[in-house]
Amino acid sequence: MDMNINLPTEKEKPSEYAERLGNIYSHTTAQNDKKHKGQFFTPGQIARFMAAQADVPAYNDIRILDPGCGSAILSCSLIEALSAKSDKPINIVLDLYDTDIRLVPVTETVLAYLQNWCEAEKINLTYNLYPADFVLENADSISNQHTLFGEGDNWQYDYIISNPPYFKIAKDDKRAEACSSIIDGQINIYALFMAICARKLKDTGQMIFITPRSFASGRYFRSFRNYLFSNVVLDFVHLFKTRKDTFAKDDVLQELIITGFRKLPGNGKITLSNSTGMSDLAESSVKEHDCHSIVDMNSDEKIIYLPSSDREDAILGLFRSWKGNLGKYGIRISTGPVVAFRTQDYIIRNEEKDSVPLLWMHNVVKMLVDHPVNKKDKGQYIIANKNTKAYLLPNKNYILLRRFSSKDDDSRLIAAPYFGNMSKYELIGIENKLNYMHRPGGRLKRDEVMGISALLNSNIFDTYFRTFNGNTNVSATELKIMPMPDIGTIQEIGRKIILNNDYSIDYINKILIEYFNIR
């Protein structure tokens, strides 16, 4: 990109210049290349909103870190915001990292302009742009083992602001290996940025990130959450109600959140704000919550609950009032044992002698097990013999749940009651993409099956899961620990549905509103 024809315009702010050059550069980069790098430039509206969350600087001399800087729009926005304060800093040292060598000249141009702009604002800015992998250069911060990778590793920062790359990394990735102590399975690279930065923050410092919200729950981020909250406290969260208005030009459809953190201890409060997207950021609704109502620091999971309305607050309160769970009721969640590629020689399209029903994901819809439903390569029966016996289950009462939601599903949870008297068989097959609930050593009563199925399919439960789960799926771990009403209430709900003979979701939602007074 020829920088000579893209000079700053008169009175153009550094953040505006960074956004303009970033957009020009982005248009010269293939979409697949950007996704491979996890590179999504921050829109100016979001960058300025993030910068506005920064408090008055504690000192005249401050140090700022931008660990995945792109065109440096976040650094520019933050320094502009700090310079507008009455007690603005006098000296700023800015450290930036990015691995895109082609982008470095663009960023250097922006930083040179920012430096000149700061001089006019009576601020002395020194910057260090490192064309290096931030995680590999600084991973020893997590283990407290210092290496020879530059003295910059020892710096602590007053402000850290970042839109890190987003992509999953394998366990044998060098970055994953360097941060193995906080990784449990496949994790996203952005979490490593957050973890390292949590250790590089001064006692009076702040860090502000925009990331997917997937770290708020789930097994793969459990070790990370425990590490993160042993170093910082959550101070601020902004939610976007739509996925399509944040990084739409880059086809980023993940649910993104803006988070602010401080060093321990905090003030016991967390501010939650939300907007539909970028266009109404200035009109965001804001509410303050007690920390313990958002993150249960006494739990091993440390799930982050993010209600965005009074109704969601009320639903969270309802769930916290329940003391039961599936484990207390002797109910276990297991994964369907039929793995198709291992049993393909015995899976058949139509019923034959010695065959039993085989249930797949498409056979399970809300409150209904629909079988047979012929679908290409999804035979509806499996031969029961000595070679398949280990994969089959007794034909008794179960609650079936899809392990994955399709892109067309509106709900996180899709569950269906299955009763053993639905078919004449002694055994059934349940495919691996389904979970099933059962009572080992016993049986699920009919009203229990119906009551739990209704709860899982309800709008109340779907809303509860959406407060902490940004993914389209709910894990078995999350289901195991979720609060449930007492077993008597569950059975009463189930009996009412059975007696009324109405299994529609509208009816289920209606009776749950009556039971729990949640509108």
The DSSP 8-state label assigned to residue 324 in this structure reads B
What are the helix (H) ranges across 125-221? 134-138, 140-143, 174-178, 189-199
Q: Please indicate whether residue 125 or residue 186 has the higher confidence score (pLDDT).
A: 125
Q: Hey, what are 372's tokens?
A: 């047979």
Measured distance CA(480)–CA(335) in Å, rounded: 13
Measured distance CA(72)–CA(212) in Å, rounded: 20
- Please check whether residue 492 is in contact with residue 486, taking contact to mean a CB–CB distance below 8 angstroms: no
Q: Where are the beta strands (DSSP E) in 297-431?
A: 332-335, 347-348, 355-359, 364-365, 368-369, 381-383, 393-394, 398-402, 415-418, 427-430
- Please check whether residue 414 is in contact with residue 365, taking contact to mean a CB–CB distance below 8 angstroms: yes
pLDDT of residue 147: 43
Asked which of 35-44, 69-78, 275-284 is least confident by mean pLDDT, the reply is 35-44
Please state whether beta strands 332-335 and 434-438 pair in parallel, antiparallel, or not at all (unpaired). Answer: antiparallel
- Please check whether residue 129 is in contact with residue 69, taking contact to mean a CB–CB distance below 8 angstroms: yes
429-476: per-residue pLDDT in tens?
999 999 999 999 999 999 999 999 999 999 999 999 889 887 667 778
pLDDT of residue 178: 93
322: left (phi over 0), alpha (psi -120 to 50) or beta: beta
pLDDT value at 318 more than 90: yes
Residue 379 has φ and ψ, to the nearest 5°, of -55, 140
Measured distance CA(389)–CA(143) in Å, rounded: 48
Measured distance CA(365)–CA(391) in Å, rounded: 23
pLDDT value at 146 more than 60: no
Residues 6+ apart with CB under 8 A from 443: 396, 397
pLDDT value at 165 more than 90: yes
374-433: per-residue pLDDT in tens?
999 999 999 999 999 999 999 999 999 998 766 556 787 899 999 998 888 999 999 999
Measured distance CA(284)–CA(148) in Å, rounded: 45
Q: Taking the alpha carbons of 12, 14, 15, 21 in that order, is the dihedral positive or negative?
A: positive
Q: What is the average pLDDT across 201-230?
A: 94
CA-closest candidate to residue 49, choices 305, 273, 289 = 273
- 513 pairs with which residues across the strands? none
- Please check whether residue 400 is in contact with residue 431, taking contact to mean a CB–CB distance below 8 angstroms: no
pLDDT of residue 138: 96
Distances (CA, A) of 102 to 27, 71, 99, 179: 13, 11, 9, 27
Measured distance CA(16)–CA(44) in Å, rounded: 7
Residue 85: how many CB atoms within 10 A of its CB? 12
- Please check whether residue 189 is in contact with residue 175, taking contact to mean a CB–CB distance below 8 angstroms: yes
Amino acid type, 359: L
Measured distance CA(257)–CA(274) in Å, rounded: 9
**Cα pseudo-dihedral 86, 62, 39, 254, rounded to 10:** -60
- 62 by Cβ neighbours in 10 Å (0-12 / 13-18 / 19+) ranks as buried
pLDDT band for position 480 (cuts 50, 70, 90): confident
pLDDT value at 39 more than 90: no
Q: Hey, what are 50's tokens?
A: 């993030």
pLDDT value at 34 more than 90: no
Please state whether beta strands 232-240 and 269-275 pair in parallel, antiparallel, or not at all (unpaired). Answer: parallel
Q: What is the average pLDDT across 493-509?
A: 97
- 365 pairs with which residues across the strands? 368
Q: Please indicate whether residue 220 or residue 161 has the higher confidence score (pLDDT).
A: 161
Amino acid type, 29: T
Q: What is the average pLDDT across 34-55?
A: 84
- Please check whether residue 380 is in contact with residue 371, taking contact to mean a CB–CB distance below 8 angstroms: yes
The continuous run of DSSP H or E covering 35 comes out as helix 31-37
Q: Hey, what are 100's tokens?
A: 């895109």
pLDDT value at 150 more than 50: no
Three-class SS of residue 272?
Answer: strand
Measured distance CA(460)–CA(87) in Å, rounded: 48
